Structure 1
Amino acid sequence: MRNRRHAELLARLVADARYEVLPTPSVEDTVLTHLPRERVITVTASPGKGLGATLDLAERLAGHGYLVVPHLAARMVHGRGELAEICERLTGKGIARVFVPGGDAEADGTYPDALSLLEDLADLGRPFSHVGIAGYPESHPTIHDDLTVQSMWDKRRYATHVVSNLTFDPGTIRVWVRRMRDRGITMPLLLGLPGPVERTKLLAMATKIGVGESTRFLVKHKGTLARLAAPGGFTGERFLEQCAPALAMPDANVAGLHVFTFNQIEATETWRNDLLHQLTR
């Protein structure tokens, strides 16, 4: 990378990258084997596994000494009483960080969206010191772009930072960060990107978690498809280099990276260490 200032910025972000994992039966042992205790781990929530799997894994990882961020998907919480129990359960284990998306499930209780749950968290005394909300650089499958920006504005009083969903287009990041900051959403941003993962899994998961536009982008950019198909899968070096000018804007306020591991944890940590070495040599 020729621009030293950009390299220093990316080195800082890569050094403190946090990892998102899926609550599968084997992931706890994989995390313990391959990740140092200072790595921040976020644990997803899905309708198929239920919120209990998320909370159980978060508690176990916290017990091992990790800083853990469970996802509290609003539509999976059955009302304020259950929310209060979740807060007591997590804070009792020393967990002070959460991520609050709306979630993909149909609403089971009183929370049709993330904002309604965030409002109740505030009424419950704001039990968590760090509260993340979702940002969508690309079109969300069910929410118009303008509404996603407005949603961040509505939630800004209850959150401490924004976590961006996946995109493969650096130009999209540039436009989206500008729109967000022009709207007055000034919270720190954690930039989402995929770690190294096999092409077929990446494309399948990307479509499921709300980045269907990325599939169309990939079809138009054969070089990116070729990189995804190459041995070792997708890596984010070039993506981050191309994002660097946008991330370095004075008001960008990019505080870190949120790496979607798809549970390819060993490969992701190896990639992160190699990239950090490249950026700091």
Structure 2
Amino acid sequence: MSQATLRTLLSTARYEILPTAGIVERVGEYVAPGREITVTASTGLTLEATLSTAEQLQALGFRAVPHIAARMIHGRPELTEIVDRLAEAAIDRIFVPAGDATPPAGGYVGAHDLLVDLSSMAAPFQHIGVSAYPESHPLIPDDVTVQAMWDKRDYATHLVSNLCFDPTTVASWLARVRARGIELPLMLGIAGKVELAKLARVATKIGVGESTRFLRKNTATFTRMAKPGGYNPRKFLDRLAPALDDQDMGVAGLHIYTFNQIKDTEVWRRKQLAALGGAEAVSSVW
């Protein structure tokens, strides 16, 4: 991959966090304002925690991106309240996954249902991300996730890929997505500089049931961390170089899953940029 491509990806990378206690302060301590920070939504941590965290980050000068998990929303009236609340906070970007709430809190059984309702509102969102799965989803068949991407393409502005630790799988999946005519820009999901012990501690902070789901969904992360040499995000990106340099593949930026290891991830990103001679100027992908 060209150094220019890597510099751009690293300088505009956005971070995903979980809305646990103290996370806003840690982001403010280690990350310069202006960076895009996405905030997950889960039944264990509550949607209120997601919205409140996003509001606080936005007020500090970050570009906050709350996850609006469809299955956690009770219906259109609650969705309207959320839209109004985010508009008041000047938040103009969201991510809409289906979410894991079982059963659904209301009538939204998937992201598409919510996106349809959202499209009929005077919503202030300039950027709406939806999920993409390079590997099979543990609960959803592949043909369903592929169809879902197609169905959501008219309501979203970009895709956000789930974690996958195999660059070959990511590259072949992305080529198939483009061959199907899905042209939405992709925010490539990668794990940050994550340490196994710290990842385990995050799991203990998010509730017993929720942490069980967290551990199950991130088994690959734990497995990779436990291997000799661990996981190296730079090596992962280097192995994906052809796809990242190919404009037809439409990789617009990096979505870094921090697992709340903000300091470690930001130190790693800055070191990579410094080695490339890249300036530390925050600029949006969009």
- Do the aligned partners of 1:169 and 1:217 also contact (CA within 8 Å) in 2? no
Alpha-carbon distance, 1:214 to partner: 3.6
CA distance in 2, matches of 1:157, 1:213: 33
Shift of the 224–11 alpha-carbon distance from structure 1 to 2, 3 Å rule, reads farther
Shift of the 39–212 alpha-carbon distance from structure 1 to 2, 3 Å rule, reads closer
Alpha-carbon distance, 1:245 to partner: 0.7
Query: Which residue identity is paired with 1:186?
Result: E
TM-score by length of 1: 0.89
From 75, 86, 91, the equivalent of 2:87 is 91
Aligned match of 1:226: 228
Aligned match of 2:50: 54
5+ long unaligned stretches in structure 2: 204-210, 279-286
- Do the aligned partners of 1:140 and 1:211 also contact (CA within 8 Å) in 2? no
Q: Identity across aligned pairs (percent)?
A: 49
Question: What do the CA deviations read for 1:33-71 (whole angstroms, capped 9, x no partner)?
Answer: 111002111101011011000001111111111110000
CA distance in 1, matches of 2:169, 2:137: 13
Alpha-carbon distance, 1:126 to partner: 3.9
How many residues matched?
268
From 177, 196, 199, the equivalent of 1:199 is 196
Query: Which residue identity is paired with 1:256?
Result: G
Aligned match of 2:30: 34
From 264, 267, 272, the equivalent of 2:269 is 272
From 153, 156, 161, the equivalent of 2:158 is 161
The 5-angstrom pairing of residues 117-128 of structure 1 reads 117-128=114-125
Query: Which residue identity is paired with 1:160?
Result: T
Aligned match of 1:21: 17
From 149, 154, 163, the equivalent of 2:146 is 149
- Do the aligned partners of 1:18 and 1:259 also contact (CA within 8 Å) in 2? yes
Shift of the 209–92 alpha-carbon distance from structure 1 to 2, 3 Å rule, reads farther
From 166, 171, 186, the equivalent of 2:168 is 171
CA distance in 2, matches of 1:209, 1:141: 13
Alpha-carbon distance, 1:225 to partner: 1.7
Aligned match of 2:98: 102
From 187, 191, 196, the equivalent of 1:190 is 187
Aligned match of 1:231: none
CA distance in 2, matches of 1:257, 1:210: 24
CA distance in 2, matches of 1:202, 1:153: 34
Question: What do the CA deviations read for 1:256-276 (whole angstroms, capped 9, x no partner)?
Answer: 100011111011100000111
Deviates more, 1:120-129 or 1:89-98: 120-129
Question: What do the CA deviations read for 1:123-174 (whole angstroms, capped 9, x no partner)?
Answer: 1134311000011111110112222121111000000000001011000111
Question: What do the CA deviations read for 1:190-228 (whole angstroms, capped 9, x no partner)?
Answer: 00111111135658789738756847985xxxx982122
| RCO higher in structure (CA 8 A, sep ≥6) | 2
Aligned match of 1:69: 65
Query: Which residue identity is paired with 1:66?
Result: F
Aligned match of 1:241: 238
Pairwise CA RMSD: 2.2
Query: Which residue identity is paired with 2:112?
Result: L
Shift of the 267–25 alpha-carbon distance from structure 1 to 2, 3 Å rule, reads same
Q: Does 1:131 align with 2:131?
A: no
CA distance in 2, matches of 1:183, 1:200: 40
Deviates more, 1:142-151 or 1:55-64: 142-151
- Do the aligned partners of 2:39 and 2:67 also contact (CA within 8 Å) in 1? yes
- Do the aligned partners of 1:194 and 1:236 also contact (CA within 8 Å) in 2? yes
